[in-house]
Amino acid sequence: KLNTLKDTFLQDFLIGAALSNTQITGADKNAINLLEKEFNSITPENDMKWEQIHPEKDSFYFEIADKYVALGQQENMHIVGHTLVWHSQLAPWVQNIKDSSELANTIETHINKIVGRYKGKITTWDVVNEALNEDGTPRESQFYKVMGGENYIEHAFKLAAKADPNAKLVYNDYNLWKPEKRAGVIRLVKQLQESGVKLDGVGMQAHWSLEGPSIEDIENSIIAYSNLGVKVSFTELDVTVLPNPWDLNGAAVEQSYEQYEGDPKMNPYPEKLTDSAQVKLAKRYEDIFKLFLKHKDKIERVTFWGVNDGQSWLNGWPIKGRTNHPLLFDRENKAKQAYQNVLALK
Ligand code: XIL
């Protein structure tokens, strides 16, 4: 019987993890050892985002990104670039641009420089991230507003394809299981395809919880995206076990998460996960991977948003200072019950 994630699913899909800055720079050897053993794809959690890699108009910061790519090459991994055009974690100088052609040129320089530098090394690019609202309409980001519509998306994809014709190009977003947002993705993908843009995949971020989304909603999206002729990837999988300050439809109670900081009701597992929660998490991951296996012909990659629970952004978001347990490996890099359940599916 096979006993690692990557070997278990070798014929099905890639198994990835997002790497933190500490992991990339080598300060966290244990996580890297686990990575080598269990995973065959990597994504940089923060170090290739615009504010990091292109903080000023005329300065690029490639030191960490270079290390990240070198690590992936050394380990012979599928290397993901994350992310070229995104409204969040954007450099302030880009946020200040008011002129449409200046912003178009800025995107061009950004993509040519970064995709060009890692040509033939980065296997897959998240070209555009989170361009849609929850109802499927275009998000009115800096790019949308200044360039006067969704044309910045086509612009970005065309530039990426030109800078590295062999890279796989992905549109990435969250809550893509939602029927209304799904309709928005379908509209966008068709629009890009009609204008001759190379688009290889849709990335479903997959920041989920024990309660939702339903397997049925996820399945409907996998099928709908695959029907457009693109591959589906789960690019940022984690399953929060903590109470969320919004309802399942994402109708955000987004005002002041600060009010929950330090509230013990919002942090029920400050030391370790209880046995019953451990079992619930395991069952949830089992259901999710059962679905992935059912549609393995449509799925390219399943990437966890972190190697272990200690690294997870969900310890600090949306409420600071909590102890979350959303991944397959705990804070000691030990496999959890969820890991056993997932491997047992094969
Ligand atoms: C998150 C990182 O995990 C955090 O460390 C950072 O503070 C904020 O961004 N969607 C994405 C990811 O595409 O880049 C985000 O990553 C999580 C949501």
**The domain spanning residue 23 has which CATH number?**
3.20.20.80
**Which pLDDT belongs to residue 259?**
83
Is residue 16 included in any domain, yes or no? Answer: yes
Ligand 1 atom 3 nearest Cα: 313
Is residue 251 included in any domain, yes or no? Answer: no
**Which pLDDT belongs to residue 246?**
63
**CA end-to-end span of the chain:** 9
**Is the confidence at residue 247, as pLDDT, over 60?**
no
Domain count for the chain: 1
**Is the confidence at residue 308, as pLDDT, over 50?**
yes
Contact (Cβ atoms closer than 8 angstroms) between residue 253 and residue 244: no
**Is the confidence at residue 255, as pLDDT, over 60?**
no
Q: Decide the pairing of beta strands 231-240 and 78-85.
A: unpaired
Ligand 1 binding pocket includes 240 (Cβ within 6 Å): no
Distance of CA 151 to the CA centre of its chain: 23
Using a pLDDT cut of 90, give the percent of the chain over it: 92
Ligand 1 binding pocket includes 52 (Cβ within 6 Å): no
**Is the confidence at residue 65, as pLDDT, over 80?**
yes
**Is the confidence at residue 248, as pLDDT, over 90?**
no
Distance between Cα 49 and ligand 1 center (Å): 10
- For the segment 62-74, the average pLDDT, to the nearest whole number, is 98
**Which pLDDT belongs to residue 253?**
56
Query: Among residues 68, 72, 29, which one has the least CA distance to residue 45?
Result: 68
**Is the confidence at residue 30, as pLDDT, over 70?**
yes
**Which pLDDT belongs to residue 79?**
99
**Which pLDDT belongs to residue 70?**
98
Tokens 């100088």: give the residue. 93
Q: Identify the DSSP state of 335.
A: B
Is residue 249 included in any domain, yes or no? Answer: no
pTM for this predicted structure: 0.97
Amino acid identity of 77?
A: M
Is residue 64 included in any domain, yes or no? Answer: yes
Distance between Cα 143 and ligand 1 center (Å): 19
Is residue 254 included in any domain, yes or no? Answer: no
The residue segments making up the domain with residue 323 are 5-244+261-343
Is residue 326 included in any domain, yes or no? Answer: yes
Is residue 18 included in any domain, yes or no? Answer: yes
Distance between Cα 313 and ligand 1 center (Å): 7
Which distant-in-sequence residues (6+ apart) come within 8 Å of 332 by Cβ?
none
Query: Rounded CA gap, 308 and 241, in Å?
Result: 14
**Which pLDDT belongs to residue 301?**
99
Contact (Cβ atoms closer than 8 angstroms) between residue 336 and residue 330: yes
Q: Where are the beta strands (DSSP E) in 179-329?
A: 201-204, 207-209, 231-240, 299-304
User: Over the stretch 190-246, which tens digit does the pLDDT of each residue have?
Assistant: 999 999 999 999 999 999 999 999 999 999 999 999 999 999 999 999 999 999 866
How far is CA 222 from each of CA 110, 186, 229, 305, rounded to the nearest angstrom? Answer: 31, 12, 11, 19
Contact (Cβ atoms closer than 8 angstroms) between residue 53 and residue 60: yes
User: Over the stretch 124-153, which tens digit does the pLDDT of each residue have?
Assistant: 999 999 999 999 999 999 999 999 999 999
**Which pLDDT belongs to residue 216?**
98
How far is CA 55 from each of CA 61, 86, 112, 229, 344, rounded to the nearest angstrom? Answer: 7, 14, 16, 36, 45
